[in-house]
Amino acid sequence: MPELESSLTSSPAATEAMREALADEVCGVLEARTNGSPRIVRVEVPVPWEVDPVQWVQGQSGGEAAYWSSRTEEAPVATVGAADVVEGGERPVNFDRLHRRLASRLNQTDAPVRYYGGVRFDAAHPGEQDDVAPGWRPFGTYRFVLPRFELRAREDGTTLTCNLVLPRDAARRDVLVEAVHALAPPRRPATGGLPQPFGRTDVPDQEGWTRMIRWVLDAISNRSLDKVVLARRVALELQASLDPFFVMQHLKRATPRCFHFAVRPAKGPTFLGASPERLFRRDGERVLSEAVAGTRKRGETPAADAALRDELMQSPKERREHAFVQEAIREELETLCTAVDAPDTPSDLALARGRHLHSRLTGTLRSRTSAVDLLRALHPTPAVGGVPTDDALDVIHTREPFDRGWYAGPVGWIGADAAEFAVAIRSGLVQGDRLALFSGAGIVDGSDPEREWEEIEQKIGDFASILGLDGHAAATP
């Protein structure tokens, strides 16, 4: 939805009236249900004005927060606080246990509640807590949050919701009412610049990157691998602390037609991004997934843009890379679906700064198939891991000189009979005055180290341009 200056900032009386209405509803529910079996209750009030959820979450105090919007900007939502958290640190993750924990909670309500969160890239790979970089430790192997408060903007109006877990929350009446009254109005739309970077470190540097790719190309030529996705971490030092939701305001403007997400644990940094890639969307028995692989930048003129599009569509290397991804997704969906539809040839997905080969795959799920089953089956696709999957993941663990954390993992939400997840690429981790950017490139037979380096430079350009940093600037010595 368009970013409008909210009436909240100019109508304190209306703001207080809305908070009073929500507090009254919360008190009514808590007084009526002080015992009984566990149950999740949603208390919702209308917001009688248009407001950007990003501006709203930016206006709140620190702590647990999140933001999610789909590629079509359908019903973007911002969240604050946590009514319930399902998290774990074990690797490999026990997906059956994760499903049971989420299902037991979602079965406690008829309301359309959502748990927002995600999973580490290497959740299914054995590992120890010592392997996890400090910045990623607050996120765990997986973390899903039922928000305390949600602000959701839909076509039929904006709503503010408080989620209650009963009977547990009945003893917290005064604390919850105080939290309602502490909800602040949104910030005004972002103007001006962000803190400027004064230092940049590439991990690996270009020499190390070239060595990694040559090692993988040798393995491919020896037929021990077909594809590996190698990633880079670009660490920026800034002149001042960075407000992650200020970044998100700019990021949404710079990267339309993407999934926009931000996840901030209560005592942690903020992971955010603008991903072009859907892992899956589930609506009842229907599932939609996408293969997104193969990349070209946008041309500076219509003629140049058309030429680059044709080059992408006709490139044997890019078509081969895309085919790996589509075939892997199709095979996994066929194990979970009674029928799967996939196109014979890919289309192109045109974004503000680049374009990709793109295929939509749809299916009808078998009975009792859960969103966690889809997570386990579809992640990681060859678009972020490789082929064969296990061998590619071993290469990533042994060759990449940094912890991916949640980068390239699934991020999104799970409800009782619906779910949606993006692949968390084109992303960054904000920690005070430091920003780490992540992006990767698929290495197949015919890949060129220098060209793959430049492809990643183009991919991180959305973030770099927001910060006023040339996306092709040399790494800091």
Report the amino acid identity of residue 421: F
Answer for the pair 110, 160: CB distance below 8 angstroms, yes or no. Answer: no
Helix axes 316-336, 302-314, angle to 10 degrees: 60
DSSP-assigned letters across all residues of 294-325: EEEEPPSSHHHHHHHHHHHHH-HHHHHHHHHH
Tell me how far apart the alpha carbons of residues 86 and 51 are, in angstroms, rounded to a whole number: 30
Report the amino acid identity of residue 176: L
Q: Which candidate in 64, 227, 420, 452 is catalytic?
A: 227
What is the chain's Cα-based Rg? 22
Tell me how far apart the alpha carbons of residues 256 and 274 are, in angstroms, rounded to a whole number: 9
Of 314, 273, 274, nearest to 294 by C-alpha is 314
Tell me how far apart the alpha carbons of residues 243 and 265 are, in angstroms, rounded to a whole number: 15
Q: What are phi and psi of 451, to 5 degrees?
A: -65, -40
CA dihedral 143, 147, 148, 154 (to 10 degrees): 170
Kindly report the length of the chain: 477
DSSP-assigned letters across all residues of 165-204: EETGGGGGHHHHHHHHHTPPPPPPPP-SPPPPEEEEEEES
Q: Is 238 helix (H, G, I), strand (E, B) or coil?
A: strand
For residue 346, the 8-state DSSP code is: -
Q: Is 277 one of the catalytic residues?
A: yes
Cβ count near 206 (within 10 Å): 14
Tell me how far apart the alpha carbons of residues 250 and 256 are, in angstroms, rounded to a whole number: 11
Q: Is 267 one of the catalytic residues?
A: no
Answer for the pair 463, 251: CB distance below 8 angstroms, yes or no. Answer: yes
Q: Which candidate in 150, 277, 321, 452 is catalytic?
A: 277
Asked if the bond preceding 449 is cis, omega within 30° of 0, the reply is: no
Tell me how far apart the alpha carbons of residues 264 and 286 are, in angstroms, rounded to a whole number: 30
What residues act catalytically? 227, 277
